[in-house]
């Protein structure tokens, strides 16, 4: 299926990013023609018109972008097609906000979490296929590749530096298949597990403040969903992948005044984006000249995305632009790049192959049957004699045996095939035992109904397939890594070999790369954000130096005042909440943990997000309860109608117009029942997603509380130089007094000896 890459445009609201100096009185230099989907930009020397497949204006919501951009592709993804969505634009134009989401509320979640929710909704509704989901998250920084989900090494804080992450390498086979070494792929069986993996990767992304964006992601990030599916009992497996690519923003260093590390990062970003543009231009020319060389190898990013840019993939691009006057040149450049991308055609095909395990199992069974047939043809000793005969054949053999026994002159018994002869022998043994008064053996079991036999065979095939899948999941028959593979710190990531477990070089730590641990260890799961943050909290001393900045949530779009508040959070850990430290004392900080934490919760900078999640959760719980009650009522109504229908048929002796009417009503009730059940399942998936989001934000709040507490201790020590005295309480009373939300904090306090 050949299709050009779909290009769409999203306009960031003017003034939404405080770092981009916006004058409300300035004349707008852009216009959008929504009838023809044309973006009109006023340049320094000429005007430009750019036609897109769709344009999202400044008022478009995250849900609208997802429904128009990604939702239509999910059906193709489930059908076995590779898919890719990548965002391109200058820094601060809203790429990361679109892909991962904002910090304002649950409704601000981006394309990635929404795609995971829809994926597991569809898997839940599918009954005729088995699905396996694996998640990967790669970061390309300064032309080096890193695994954002790396489990090697213990972080010293909640966020690893990129030097602590496992490095990935790209290899290309003779068949031009790109393989990624050392990239982990976590299995996910539910939306909660999948979102935890996504958020764990987001925690490790490099974020740096620039003059254009106070929370700029200074690397290219690629989140990949790998999907394996097969019909129940079939050896044909479909393997598809969905790339979500968040490209680092371009930035004109001559105008932004970047220096030092930020300048170095900007140079690498601009070079990699230059190579991306070169590849796009070559692909566009290759549409007319097939001999045109495409320089994928010039950049790690272009080699990684080789299939997505010009191969077996359905790809869509979202260009993001900021329309303030000073950003118009960059917006023009972004739109020109999008026009080149839109001229590229990809040839997407369904990725199907034979599962070698099920195929081997099937061939072994066929081989066994062929051997038995060969023995039968040779009429050798030990040939299969247990084949069932039809009832007519059994009666025919019995009649011939009785005739043979009754006629003493008859010297031979001719019953036909080997199987009929074996049945005749068993029948004569039965007659002999009955005459001798010994135990009688049934000649054969009563033949099963053909439909029942077919049903049982299908069940047997399905159970065999399930056993094979479960065996694969627990790694019971996985080969151990070969000696030459042990030198690698991680696995060879290959979409054709994703079901392989590898062991790290030192052998002391087992890394989860593709499937859970072998049966010698319990089934492991991706470490949740809660556990990672708790480990980080417990390992940090209270009186250490506090960093002068904290991770800043993405800038909110709608309210400039709130966005400015988020900018202030970067200045000091003391800005995490609005508690006036001048009114506190060290004794209060030591002895009134519950009161202090309650104040922190109420004045926490992200309290609005937490409260919004709680309200959304309550609404979803109410909806689920109403849907469940409606389902119960419909089921009861259907049962009553069935009973009424049976009674009416028994009374009248035949079907009438009245019975037909009841049947029609019953069909309507059944259809409504199915719709309600599906809606309830979708609500349950949303519930799990909101719960996971709420848990992650709660864990982040606990971590921020520790940062703020450290800052408060240092502040009060400087203001009140009195030495903090050791304060101890009984463990039993402490456990009863503290709230669950600050358990990690109190463990740290005890560990530090306070």
CB of 338 closer than 8 Å to CB of 50: yes
User: Residue 164 carries which DSSP code?
Assistant: G
58-78 burial, b at 16+ Cβ within 10 Å, e below that, comes to eebebeebbeebbeebbebbb
**Element holding 616 (H helix, E strand):** helix 607-652
Q: Do 372 and 27 contact (CB within 8 A), yes or no?
A: no
Question: 3-class SS at 39?
Answer: strand
Is-contact 114 346, C-beta < 8 A?
Answer: no
Residue 69's nearest CA partner among 13, 131, 5, 12 is 5
Place of tokens 């009992």: 233
Which residues are CB-contacts of 412 (< 8 A; sequence separation ≥ 6)? none
Residue 551 near residue 537 (C-beta atoms within 8 A): no
Indicate the burial class of 680 (C-beta count within 10 angstroms; 0-12, 13-18, 19 or more).
middle
Q: Which helix (H) or strand (E) holds 314?
A: strand 314-322
Find, among 697, 37, 100, the residue nearest to 342 by Cα: 37
Q: Helix, strand, or coil here: 209?
A: coil
Q: Is 21 helix (H, G, I), strand (E, B) or coil?
A: coil
CA 121 vs. chain centroid, Å, equals 12
**What is the Rg, in whole angstroms, of the alpha carbon atoms belonging to the chain?**
34
In whole angstroms, give the CA distance from residue 369 to residue 363.
10
Tokens of 496: 């054709």
How many other β-carbons are positioned within 10 Å of the β-carbon of residue 634?
Answer: 19
Q: 497 to each of 194, 362, 740, how far by Cα in Å?
A: 21, 21, 43
- Which one, of 738, 704, 627, lies nearest residue 672 by Cα? 627
The count of residues in the chain is 754
Annotation: binding site: 89-96
Q: Of 509, 193, 510, which Cα lies nearest the Cα of 501?
A: 510
Count CB neighbours of 653 within 10 A.
7
Residue 429: half-sphere exposure toward Cβ, Cα within 13 Å: 12
Report the candidate in 81, 82, 86, 76 with the shortest Cα–Cα distance to residue 8: 86
250 contact partners, CB below 8 Å, separation of at least 6: 89, 90, 91, 269, 270, 273, 330, 333, 334
Alpha helices in 45-171 (DSSP H): 62-69, 71-79, 95-100, 111-125
Torsion 506-197-748-206 (CA) sign: positive
User: Both tokens of residue 668?
Assistant: 């309507």
- Measuring CA to CA, which residue among 708, 731, 712, 725 is closest to residue 537? 708
Query: Residue 169 burial (CB < 10 Å; 0-12/13-18/19+)?
Result: middle
Cα separations in angstroms, 504 against 486, 507, 694: 7, 5, 34
Q: How far is CA 700 from CA 203, 601, 609, in A?
A: 10, 12, 12
Integer Cα distance of 394 and 665 in angstroms: 50
Residue positions forming the annotated binding site for ATP: 89-96
């Amino acid at each position: 299926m050949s299709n050009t890459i779909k290009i769409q445009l999203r306009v960031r609201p003017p003034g939404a990013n405080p770092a981009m100096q916006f004058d409300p009185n300035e004349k707008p230099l852009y216009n959008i023609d929504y009838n023809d989907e044309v973006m009109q930009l006023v340049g320094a020397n000429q005007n430009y018109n750019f036609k897109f497949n769709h344009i999202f204006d400044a008022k478009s919501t995250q849900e609208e972008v997802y429904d128009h951009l990604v939702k239509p592709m999910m059906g193709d993804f489930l059908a076995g097609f590779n898919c890719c969505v990548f965002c391109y634009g200058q820094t601060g134009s809203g790429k990361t906000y679109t892909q991962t989401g904002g910090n304002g509320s649950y409704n601000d979640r981006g394309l990635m979490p929404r795609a995971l929710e829809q994926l597991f909704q569809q898997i839940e509704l599918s009954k005729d296929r088995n699905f396996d989901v694996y998640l990967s998250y790669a970061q390309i920084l300064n032309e080096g590749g890193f695994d954002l989900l790396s489990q090697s090494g213990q972080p010293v804080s909640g966020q690893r530096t990129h030097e602590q992450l496992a490095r990935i390498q790209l290899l290309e086979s003779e068949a031009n298949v790109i393989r990624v070494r050392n990239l982990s792929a976590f299995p996910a069986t539910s939306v909660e597990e999948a979102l935890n993996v996504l958020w764990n990767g987001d925690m490790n992304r490099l974020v740096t403040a620039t003059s254009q964006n106070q929370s700029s992601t200074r690397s290219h990030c690629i989140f990949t969903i790998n999907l394996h599916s097969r019909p129940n009992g079939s050896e044909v497996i479909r393997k598809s992948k969905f790339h979500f690519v968040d490209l680092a923003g371009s930035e004109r260093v001559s105008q932004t005044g970047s220096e030092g590390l930020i300048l170095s990062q900007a140079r690498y970003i601009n070079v990699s984006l230059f190579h991306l543009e070169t590849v796009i231009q070559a692909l566009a020319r290759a549409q007319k000249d097939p001999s045109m060389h495409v320089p994928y190898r010039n950049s790690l990013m272009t080699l990684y995305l080789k299939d997505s840019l010009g191969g077996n993939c359905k790809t869509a691009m979202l260009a993001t632009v900021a329309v303030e006057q000073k950003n118009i040149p960059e917006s023009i450049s972004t739109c020109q790049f999008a026009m080149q991308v839109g001229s590229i055609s990809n040839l997407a095909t369904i990725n199907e192959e034979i599962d070698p395990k099920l195929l081997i199992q099937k061939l072994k069974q066929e081989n066994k049957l062929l051997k038995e047939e060969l023995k039968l043809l040779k009429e050798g000793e030990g040939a299969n004699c247990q084949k069932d005969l039809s009832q007519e054949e059994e009666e025919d053999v019995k009649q011939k045996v009785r005739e043979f026994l009754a006629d003493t002159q008859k010297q031979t018994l001719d019953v036909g095939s080997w199987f009929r002869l074996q049945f005749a022998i068993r029948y004569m043994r039965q007659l002999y035992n009955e005459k001798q008064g010994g135990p009688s053996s049934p000649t054969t079991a009563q033949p099963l109904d053909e439909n029942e036999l077919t049903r049982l065979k299908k069940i047997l095939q399905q159970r065999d397939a399930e056993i094979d899948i479960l065996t694969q999941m627990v790694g019971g028959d996985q080969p151990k890594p070969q000696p030459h593979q042990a030198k690698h710190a991680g696995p060879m990531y290959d979409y054709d070999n994703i079901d392989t477990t590898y062991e790290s070089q030192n052998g002391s730590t087992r890394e989860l790369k593709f499937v859970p641990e072998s049966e010698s260890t319990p089934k492991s799961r991706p470490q949740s954000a809660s556990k990672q943050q708790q480990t980080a909290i417990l390992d940090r001393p209270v009186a250490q130096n506090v960093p002068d900045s904290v991770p800043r949530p993405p800038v909110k779009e709608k309210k400039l005042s709130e966005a400015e508040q988020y900018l202030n959070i970067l200045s000091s850990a003391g800005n995490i909440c609005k508690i006036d430290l001048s009114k506190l004392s060290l004794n209060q900080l030591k002895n009134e943990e519950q009161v202090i934490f309650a104040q922190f919760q109420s004045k926490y900078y992200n309290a609005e997000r937490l409260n919004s999640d709680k309200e959304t959760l309550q609404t979803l719980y109410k909806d689920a309860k109403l849907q469940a009650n409606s389902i119960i009522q419909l089921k009861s109504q259907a049962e009553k109608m069935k009973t009424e229908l049976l009674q009416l048929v028994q009374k009248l002796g035949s079907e009438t117009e009245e019975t037909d009417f009841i049947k029609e009503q019953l069909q309507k009730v059944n259809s409504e029942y199915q719709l309600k059940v599906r809606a309830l399942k979708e609500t349950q998936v949303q519930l799990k997603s909101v719960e996971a989001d709420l848990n992650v934000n709660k864990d982040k709040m606990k971590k921020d509380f520790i940062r703020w507490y450290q800052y408060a201790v240092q502040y009060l020590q400087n203001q009140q130089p009195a030495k903090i005295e050791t304060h101890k309480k009984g463990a039993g009373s402490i456990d009863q007094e503290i709230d669950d939300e600050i358990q990690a904090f109190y463990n740290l306090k005890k560990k530090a000896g306070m």
